Amino acid sequence: MNTPTILATLFALMACASLAPGSARTNDGEIRLRLRTRVEPYHESGPWVEAQYEGAIHPSTTAIIITDMWDKHWCAGATRRVAEIARRMEPVLEEARRAGILIIHSPSETMDFYANTPGRLLAQNAPQSAPPVELNIKDGSLPIDDSDGGCDTPGDKEHKAWTRENPALTIGSGDVISDNGTEIYNVLKEHDIDTILYMGVHANMCILNRSFGVRQMSKWGFRCIIVRDLMDAMYNPASRPYVSHAAGTELVYEFIEQYWAPSTTSTDLLAGLRGEALPRGD
């Protein structure tokens, strides 16, 4: 282990108690999560390195926002990956719903499909709340070039291919449906939510930039966490930095961890939801 990594680990351990064996669910119902972030041990002289620490969420004050998990994407590669993510996401949502976490479905530009459904009405009828003054959070430049749309299947052209959320995902009783940041803010305040778990696509675009995305909700003071193995990025390996799709996606996660929000995994989240021991880390 190199010196920066050792220092990052020490800093994380000083900030929070180290992970201990036993259940990831505490007696008061909190869920313990292993969170990954990026730190700069030498303060503006680099390098930024990975650090892990233990955090906790409480189901009653936590929401999951499922971002743009459409039935079909204009990019065939993205469509295939979304279908696989949906398959792995569904059991996590079932456990989260059972634990009392609020589920918000946000398949943008498909609200006509859900008109007058119970979930849509929950969003539209939530009491209005005025957002606070936005926090001034510094940002950086994305580590990938997605100016070509980020599609990794040649020949695909941008168009609106989606009509609804991926049908592999269940919309349960009490789930909310909205693609509007103001509506979602109203819902979050109505339920006294302070923490948002993000799942879905795409990390470098919609996850960050939607009106309900990580940037906006962080500026409004919510604790945001990305579930990185239930996400994807729009990145074409033919573009800078000329790495594989998986490597480019990982660079986007590291960017979010550095500037906006820590990340966790569905494995750790499921362990907490089920009251199991956290799996061993790397």
Rounded mean pLDDT, 188-195: 98
The DSSP line for 140-195 is ---SS--TT----STT--------SB-TTS---TT-EE---HHHHHHHHHHTT--E
pLDDT in tens, 81-119: 999 999 999 999 999 999 999 999 999 999 999 999 999
In order of start, what are the domains of the chain with their CATH numbers? 59-264 (3.40.50.850)
pLDDT at res. 278:
81
Q: What is the pTM of this model?
A: 0.90
Tell me the pLDDT of the chain averaged across its residues. 91
pLDDT at res. 280:
74
Rounded to whole angstroms, how far apart are CA atoms 98 and 94? 6
pLDDT in tens, 10-54: 344 434 444 444 557 666 689 999 999 999 888 877 788 999 999
Phi-psi region at 239: left, alpha or beta (left = phi > 0; alpha = psi -120 to 50): beta
pLDDT in tens, 196-217: 999 999 999 999 999 999 999 9
pLDDT at res. 17:
40
Residue 193: pLDDT over 90:
yes
Neighbour-count burial of 113, counting CB atoms closer than 10 A to its CB (0-12 exposed, 13-18 middle, 19+ buried): middle
pLDDT in tens, 224-273: 999 999 999 999 999 999 999 999 999 999 999 999 999 999 999 999 99
